Amino acid sequence: MARQASIQPESPQKQPQPQHDIEALRPAQWSLLRELRLHALGQDGTVFDASPETEAALPASYWQEVLATSTIWVATAGDAPAGMVRYTPHDGYGHGGSLWIDPHGRTRGLARRLMLTAVDHARRRGDSELRGSVLPDNRPAVRLFRSLGAVPTGWLKPRNHPPHALRIEMSIPLSQCPRT
């Protein structure tokens, strides 16, 4: 694919960092995953390739399968979930997705912490890269991926929801990515 997005996101002012715990969800916590994901889609549906209506209709077995095949880390402050990221293994690489931070917790470095958690996990598994896809005009996400060393793979991923927009796939070479 020849097309490549040219993006120069500006950096927002960093806010003080509150204490968040980051933990991987256990299989029994599928309903928390469902709740968080539907909340994220309700808040920021336009950046994800999914709709809250479609995912709300999925059965429990779908969410159980996600936790059986992927690792989901959730950041919490006290008991309140503040963000999440998903890692899915593929042949030779890992895929990072479903990255979402509650609007009240943004610009404090939490997404970076979650991504670095996924990066460390991918390294331990022996992956050489972590891939993910992003809308080219999603400035915060593009800036985050770039700061972790991500480069576009050249693949443009068509979206199902809503149709017509393209996501760019980016790859973080794990040998060059910062460590936590």
| Site size with ligand COA, rule: CB under 6 A | 24
Shorter beta-carbon distance to ligand COA: residue 64 or 166: 166
Rounded-to-integer distance, Cα 52 and Cα 57, Å: 9
**Among the listed residues 25, 111, 130, 177, the single contact to ligand COA using CB under 6 A:** 111
Check residue 96 for interaction with ligand COA (CB under 6 A).
no
The CB-of-13 to ligand COA minimum distance in angstroms stands at 9
The CB-of-61 to ligand COA minimum distance in angstroms stands at 25
Instruction: Spell out the SS3 assignment of the chain.
Output: CCCCCCCCCCCCCCCCCCCCEEEECCHHHHHHHHHHHHHHHHHHHHHCCCCHHHHHCCCHHHHHHHHHHCEEEEEEECCEEEEEEEEEECCCCEEEEEEEECHHHCCCCHHHHHHHHHHHHHHHHCCCEEEEEECCCCHHHHHHHHHCCCEEEEEEEECCCCCCCEEEEEEEECCCCCCC
**Among the listed residues 6, 10, 124, 175, the single contact to ligand COA using CB under 6 A:** 10
Check residue 52 for interaction with ligand COA (CB under 6 A).
no
Check residue 100 for interaction with ligand COA (CB under 6 A).
yes
Check residue 12 for interaction with ligand COA (CB under 6 A).
yes
**Among the listed residues 39, 112, 157, 159, the single contact to ligand COA using CB under 6 A:** 112
Check residue 88 for interaction with ligand COA (CB under 6 A).
no
The answer to whether the CB of 132 falls within 8 A of the CB of 149 is no
Please give the residues from 129 up to 148 whose contact with ligand COA meets the rule CB under 6 A.
Answer: 134, 138-141, 143-144, 147
Check residue 149 for interaction with ligand COA (CB under 6 A).
no
Q: Beta strands of the chain (E only): which ranges? A: 21-24, 71-77, 80-89, 94-101, 129-134, 151-158, 166-173
Residue nearest to ligand COA (CB): 111
Binding site for ligand COA (CB under 6 A): 9-12, 44, 47, 99-101, 106-112, 134, 138-141, 143-144, 147
